[in-house]
Structure 1
């Protein structure tokens, strides 16, 4: 264990106080016998020594509960003990004079005995730092009326009035004082007692309704509800230890508590301000929800309700945040701290008394780790069962969402387990071993994961995932896009000004407005809808990557691959155009449109934050690649003879001028030899392919990040995918269109598969060159480049409708619905002629309807 971690844990440990979850599970106070801690004076009215020596009347010992800000203690005392003596035993490091005991809404006077205060066995007292009753007299009156109502049927009215009198959340101190009255008065205990009453069902119903005012009252502002967390916590403790976990009211209080923990402000509320207090408060709920999750996964359907999963996630997240604060940024914890229940005390102390203290302080470390182990073992067994079902051919992960509902929860549990890697040293290794052992069921679940669930962390383990899984997770980083008409970003584009007008519409828009849907229409054309949008994406990308616009250059070895043009600065708006380009590519991915363009490795590597190597430049500049290889392989003696005459410079012809760039200070006077050739090659690559286009890459990345849900994840998006993954996602299928697959995914309306027109149609298609086939597909669907899976990736069948138009008419299309309207031509030659006309480049882009 590192010294810094040991010191951090040691500093934190002595602050962590023991906490008990249930009233009936509380441990006895560590105080000494009351007989030895309190002296009892003889009555002043009797001076005789005989009277002083006579034994007092025998009174039975008194035990009762004392509630502090973070725990409940059992106190054993004598009825003749004074209030001050009890406070002194409970004060700990706090001055006893600053503490007060509250019983039944009344402050007990220090010189009074417990007997004179009429403290009853098993009663509940509250230890507080100062008396607030003088500041909230009406609140105390209402709280007292709740504890001792004249009419129990008015309990809910009293609680409503108490809440209505609460100060504004802006007055934080006054609001805290007001709500503290409710706790200190014992009102929660009273309401729970009424709720547990078996003598009067109507009273039980009223008490239920009163408590639910803290859980379901939508009229209370969120910041006020957060301030009620200590009250909800108390209700949960009381109900959990009396009515039990299956009680509906308890579950409602627990659910409300979990919901409030999803808000930012919860950490500013009393018991949650310090990790030492918060961890013991949250751990019981996290363990309870983990047990519920394990029970759900143990069922045949592996079903966990959305509500239970939400509570599990919220309690785990809140607990994790407090633990990370407690660790002080040092971690994860070494294994010896949690490998056994006594690990902490054994490794940090030698004395028996110190060991006992550490067992109390650090018990949660092993308890939480045990919960983690139970969860990971259950997930492992579930994945193993899923794998067996898949091998046996069971349709566990198929088309039906209901079948997926149970197993899909495994991913949510895995997401919570993933966060333990920052807490426990071996947690990440254990998780990776489980994921690796069950690749098949894991990928089956990820492929069908819904985009509203955040499983992107799995991309850190991308080698375990297949392409479809990686693609699904990467696309979850984009907004879903809203179909609401009022949220659409509308564009009306003139085809003759396609690039310029598209640039204005996209760059001038706020990034958030592009997160919804896009409504695209060409001027003087009726067509609108998804088909027109797909066409626009393809056309604008073709314009962006056209060499005529000097933004990008094609690779010498692969004209389909592009990288930023170092000379793009000839256009004063070039950097804004790179922002525009980044937005367009991201929007195309978001809308699932393949545009037939892919990136060169040097461009993609920079977007993903990877270092450019010699092998990366192979396609971008094959001549330079070959030259560098020769230098690296050259005989050292020849290179050292300065036969090549190379120095650390790069010569550039830019905009008609010749420039010499030094690769390092004094580079023009530094010769390349066998000892520094590796450095020379690296500096040359860095200057030629990184420095020269760094601004273009940065602005493209900025535009791309604008479209992501979280712009900061731009680098993570690219680093999570291989270049080949990105090629398939944005470029689509590069191969020849499979006509057989095309026919298999086409249905007919008005025609039958064996009609002669259909036979002629497919015969003509089969005889077309590949580019004409793509033109026909584009005319039909506005899809020029199919998804990587082929036609099945379109998500819809294609349709051929019988047109009522005469043979003189050309086919038409409804690209939004993948529908081709085909007249009943009378001959094969006529069919060939008509299809030839619509597959011309200038026709296929303009003849669709909608």
Structure 2
């Protein structure tokens, strides 16, 4: 194998016998005054480093023999009977000759030598020469006491580093790798660190500036991430390893190098040629985890919340990325790792590091529990404060917990334990999510575990998904609708337009009507959904026992445009949620589960088809002997009604001849349910889902929307409150203009409203606001309070409403009877649902 060598060694060894003689007889040379030294020998192969001790008078040949005794690597091989030198030692860019004494080579305590294989002419002589000159200059600086010379030499040294990077090819990873390896193999990193640890303040500053400039220049010059990740990371590893041993992990320069290395970890670990070992990266994880653990512990002990280091948290996460990848790749203990088996194992690569990651997880989870408990104890005080500020460590709490959740997936049983702990800290988690909510994607890992959240949190982030990616300055999308052609025209406006046009504000007006604004928009939504879910349109079927719950109609194909109508329906539902309009309908469980991408079970059809559910339940519970006697006379077929005729469908291959018995009846029921509620409406669900997804700007969130919600969550958002309207709640959220709350007319008004039937209250509410159903939170969930305005109209006038602003207007009627008469007229359905709303 051929290796590169400094240009001074560019020659052939013609007399291999002489070299062999020096290896065997160097002890016959005369001895000189010697002194013991300790030095390091870095191996090209495997990156190992040997620690050797020798006298300064020992020869280079004796060092070769020591290396051979330790590693088994022979320095001389025989090819066709001709001895040949196979291993060489390099120091400061120069090859050491066998007959040289260590003192003659200038080797001192803690110096590093490089062992390389048989070398021929180097392919990059100028680079090796530059590194050799740089090493010589650094050595001179380390022994220089003249500040003027130091400043001049520092300038020269920085130029040499820049020249090296400029010479390094930028157009190919393999070519640049050869140059950057020369930087390591020539021991320049060790030399620069030696300069940095110099007792002289001037030379120490010089070392600091040179290392920082070199690292920053690499980031700038190597714009291609592949080059940076693959070639430059080993240099940073080298700097970090040497600095860790020389100055410790709290040193500013070490922290700078570690941060620079952390920045490239995610890309570097995905390079197949540069798979990182756990042994290389885990020390960074361990030291950062220790810093985080100490900070969290101090936060618990202090009366205030101690500020965590944002950089420590983010670097911990970045270094954990390659560590997690390495654990997933290892085969010895499986993945997820069985920790008891790991503890009992006496061998196995990377066992110590895998165990160490587990310890890091347990320690940080324990500290985070204590921090959350402290937060819980202070929630009452926090919620009472006005103008509550966000403590800067709180966002970092969620970042740490997110990383711990990711780590927990590496070990069997650990993920379940983690979420059990989080369920116990549910209140604090919800508090943090509400206070810190920005992008919904930041909290997907929590939101998909619904047991640790509540409805308000899930609703908040579902609406955030719909709003994300929108801009306040989006153009209005204008619609002019004729009431007599409301469904057809609404379908044209919504179903056929580019989805981007619907992501701004909607401006709605009915033909030949002056009224515009949010109230008219709410009315339009209400009327469109009445048409969509009208049984005559055959798009949706209501549940027999609950007419407010719907699922797609398998027979919708009677209309050739039915799939386009489902896309339109999906868009309309998403728009209603986006604009916070309750539509007084709900989805049945079988529909919701398919939108969420989940399987339908037999128990899920209970409400959608009680008759089928009851029949299947009897089949499953019937005595096995009776079923096997074919008392039911069933085979694996079912009948579908299509365009007025009935069609037999086989539920499995040769279903007509497959008799249902006690052994296959579960399979029969499952296939029947799947055909009835999955296969027969698959196209309708897919088009509805596509239409709904059109309104979500961020494509990554389209599959997540339903997963973060429970079935009833969505129904609460769509249908709103199912409880009767509370007059007291109504009064609490109503303001007065021209009237006072203790005026006779106001007292009469609320007394009359209190005596109304539930239907009359709903009609009055719709007349007043264009709202048919209140949010789950009641009147407090509306975007503003309601208002009662005093007018100067005659007492003959009926009340009027400005639904956009939630205003009800009426004159000071002279008596309660007159007011009762006027309100009775308003609360008649045929009047209240079409009268004077603006």
Give the TM interval when normalised to the shorter protein.
0.7 to 0.9
Residues 586-735 of structure 1: matches in 2 within 5 Å?
Answer: 586=574, 588-589=576-577, 593-629=581-617, 647-668=635-656, 679-704=667-692, 718=706, 721-735=709-723
2:42 counterpart of 1:66 = yes
Q: 1:326 aligns with which of 308, 330, 347?
A: 330
Q: Does the 8 A contact of 1:100 with 1:107 survive in 2?
A: yes
Q: Corresponding residue for 1:292?
A: 291
Q: Deviations over 1:418-453 (max 9, x none)?
A: 223332224224324423444444454455552436
Q: Corresponding residue for 1:19?
A: none
Residues 47-58 of structure 1: matches in 2 within 5 Å?
Answer: 52=28, 58=34
Question: How far, CA to CA, are the matches of 2:193 and 2:342 in structure 1?
Answer: 37
Q: Corresponding residue for 1:267?
A: 270
Q: Is the partner of 2:550 in helix, strand or coil? A: strand
Question: How far, CA to CA, are the matches of 1:797 and 1:244 in structure 2?
Answer: 60
Q: Which range is displaced more, 135-144 or 168-177?
A: 135-144
- Distance 1:426-1:748 versus aligned 2 partners, 3 A rule: same
Q: Corresponding residue for 1:20?
A: none
Instruction: Find the structure with the greater CA-based Rg.
Output: 2
Q: Which range is displaced more, 621-630 or 471-480?
A: 471-480
CA deviation after TM superposition for structure 1 residue 600, in Å: 1.2
- Distance 1:769-1:617 versus aligned 2 partners, 3 A rule: same
Q: Does the 8 A contact of 1:84 with 1:111 survive in 2?
A: no
Q: Does the 8 A contact of 1:386 with 1:396 survive in 2?
A: no
Q: Which range is displaced more, 674-683 or 839-848?
A: 839-848
Q: 1:423 aligns with which of 402, 410, 434?
A: 410
Q: Which range is displaced more, 625-634 or 547-556?
A: 625-634
CA deviation after TM superposition for structure 1 residue 374, in Å: 0.9
Q: Deviations over 1:644-664 (max 9, x none)?
A: 665544333321223223344
Question: How far, CA to CA, are the matches of 2:606 and 2:466 in structure 1?
Answer: 32
CA deviation after TM superposition for structure 1 residue 553, in Å: 1.3
Q: Does the 8 A contact of 1:494 with 1:501 survive in 2?
A: yes
Q: 1:364 aligns with which of 336, 353, 360?
A: 353
CA deviation after TM superposition for structure 1 residue 55, in Å: 5.7
CA deviation after TM superposition for structure 1 residue 315, in Å: 1.8
2:57 counterpart of 1:81 = no
Q: Is the partner of 1:402 in helix, strand or coil? A: coil
Residues 359-438 of structure 1: matches in 2 within 5 Å?
Answer: 361-389=350-378, 393-395=380-382, 402=389, 405-407=392-394, 409-438=396-425
Question: How far, CA to CA, are the matches of 1:536 and 1:89 in structure 2?
Answer: 90
- Distance 1:248-1:93 versus aligned 2 partners, 3 A rule: same
Q: Is the partner of 2:647 in helix, strand or coil? A: strand
Question: How far, CA to CA, are the matches of 1:558 and 1:612 in structure 2?
Answer: 20
Question: How far, CA to CA, are the matches of 2:690 and 2:406 in structure 1?
Answer: 29
Q: Does the 8 A contact of 1:535 with 1:845 survive in 2?
A: no
Question: How far, CA to CA, are the matches of 1:551 and 1:195 in structure 2?
Answer: 76
- Distance 1:242-1:632 versus aligned 2 partners, 3 A rule: closer
Q: Deviations over 1:57-99 (max 9, x none)?
A: 5442442363867565534345413475577578788999887
CA deviation after TM superposition for structure 1 residue 826, in Å: 5.4
CA deviation after TM superposition for structure 1 residue 564, in Å: 0.8
- Distance 1:169-1:482 versus aligned 2 partners, 3 A rule: farther
Q: Corresponding residue for 1:280?
A: 279
CA deviation after TM superposition for structure 1 residue 812, in Å: 5.4
Q: Corresponding residue for 1:521?
A: 507
TM-score between the two structures when normalised by the length of structure 1: 0.76
Q: Does the 8 A contact of 1:495 with 1:522 survive in 2?
A: no
Q: Does the 8 A contact of 2:482 with 2:489 survive in 1?
A: no
Instruction: Give unmatched runs, 5+ long, in structure 2.
Output: 1-19, 77-84, 142-149
Question: How far, CA to CA, are the matches of 1:594 and 1:108 in structure 2?
Answer: 84
Q: Corresponding residue for 2:13?
A: none
Instruction: Give unmatched runs, 5+ long, in structure 1.
Output: 1-36, 44-50, 349-357
TM-score between the two structures when normalised by the length of structure 2: 0.77
Q: Deviations over 1:355-402 (max 9, x none)?
A: xxx6x8532122222212211222233344445556xx4447988663
CA deviation after TM superposition for structure 1 residue 696, in Å: 2.0
Q: Corresponding residue for 2:172?
A: 171
CA deviation after TM superposition for structure 1 residue 166, in Å: 5.8
- Distance 1:117-1:701 versus aligned 2 partners, 3 A rule: farther
Q: Is the partner of 1:284 in helix, strand or coil? A: helix
Question: How far, CA to CA, are the matches of 2:164 and 2:792 in structure 1?
Answer: 73
Question: How far, CA to CA, are the matches of 1:218 and 1:776 in structure 2?
Answer: 68
Q: Deviations over 1:781-832 (max 9, x none)?
A: 66543332334444x54153858886779755474xx653747655565698
Residues 24-39 of structure 1: matches in 2 within 5 Å?
Answer: none
Q: Corresponding residue for 2:125?
A: 134
Q: Corresponding residue for 1:310?
A: 314
Q: Which range is displaced more, 119-128 or 218-227?
A: 218-227
Question: How far, CA to CA, are the matches of 1:813 and 1:156 in structure 2?
Answer: 78
Q: 1:578 aligns with which of 561, 566, 575?
A: 566
Question: How far, CA to CA, are the matches of 2:658 and 2:161 in structure 1?
Answer: 84
Question: How far, CA to CA, are the matches of 1:819 and 1:98 in structure 2?
Answer: 92
Q: Does the 8 A contact of 1:338 with 1:369 survive in 2?
A: no
- Distance 1:844-1:192 versus aligned 2 partners, 3 A rule: farther
2:779 counterpart of 1:800 = no
Q: Corresponding residue for 1:158?
A: 159
Q: Does the 8 A contact of 1:551 with 1:568 survive in 2?
A: yes
